[in-house]
Amino acid sequence: MPEEDQARILTPADRRRRQRAAALAFSLFLACVLAALAATVLAVNNGRNFERLVRQVGLEDYLLAAPPALRIDRQRRQPPASRFPPWLLRAGLERMALFEKAATFSAEERCNLLRTEKGTQPTFTTSDDGWECLIFEEFDTSPEPASFFIQARGGLPDTFRNFRLKFSLTNSLTETVVLNEAIAAMQRFDLPMAPETRAYLAEKLSARVEFTSTSENYWMAFRQEIIDKRRYNLVILPLPQTITCGDPALPSPDSANRPIYGMTVGCLSLQPTPPQPEPASSPPSLFPAG
């Protein structure tokens, strides 16, 4: 037999050595892949996963850098964000307040205030558990007349639940008239709102700008209908009152993750005072100046 054929014959010991070398190479390759995968997982989110792992094993004092020392510098005045309402930015932190006793209306009286200049009278109905106020007015005689519709509902006794305003701008010649009449009727309904909130609503409706907002004690949404782009809907819902004067504040459900600052809320009881002579241009005030 030639010497070349004898050299190709492997003994059992040679086979075991080759198998161990192959297994070692595969193990090193697999370890490198797993190490790269673990490093990728720990490095994502700016290394937050690595920080969590270090804190869980209790090695933050050795593997994490010490936080920088707190430095308190002089506060710099930052420009206001453009998303803030202009009227909120104009208001000063300290200003004189004028408290007035708001007029109270029953649900039927408030509904009657929706009567338009054309003489369209609203409809007020009551049931066992609530009341409803409706008014609808058209502005032309076309097959699809421009119009507005108001629906207000509440419970007894005179508890407000929801307010809906819908107007249809199907005639370009009467768009301004319909908007002005709808906004005026909404203002006459006299929901308890600040003048700035009323001006905000009127501005958005006039410009037909969609929005969703939580203002004062209301949740409001103004949307254009998907099917007919000429029709718009405004919905105003009162937010539920979760605490009354004198009750302790309820703890936050996520108090472990959010800081809580205790604040005292005072309840001011306004008492009517005898009228005092004032200039005709000044509104009646319950608190004299000074």
Which tens digits make up the pLDDT trace of 172-190? Answer: 888 888 888 888 888 888 8
Distances (CA, A) of 91 to 94, 117, 139, 214: 8, 35, 40, 19
Q: What is the pLDDT of residue 14?
A: 76
Q: What is the pLDDT of residue 286?
A: 43
Partners of residue 223 on adjacent β-strands: 233
CB 201 within 8 A of CB 186: yes
- Per residue in 50-102, pLDDT tens? 777 777 777 777 677 776 666 655 555 555 555 555 665 565 544 455 555 55
The mean pLDDT value of the chain amounts to 74
- Top-confidence residue, 27 or 82: 27
Band the pLDDT of 235: cuts 50, 70, 90.
very high
pTM listed for this prediction: 0.51
> Around 225, how many Cα atoms within 13 Å sit in the side-chain half-sphere?
13
**For residues 147 and 173, is the Cβ–Cβ distance under 8 A?**
no
Which pLDDT value is given to residue 155? 87
User: What does the pLDDT look like over 108-146, one tens digit per residue?
Assistant: 888 888 888 777 889 999 988 889 999 998 888 888 888
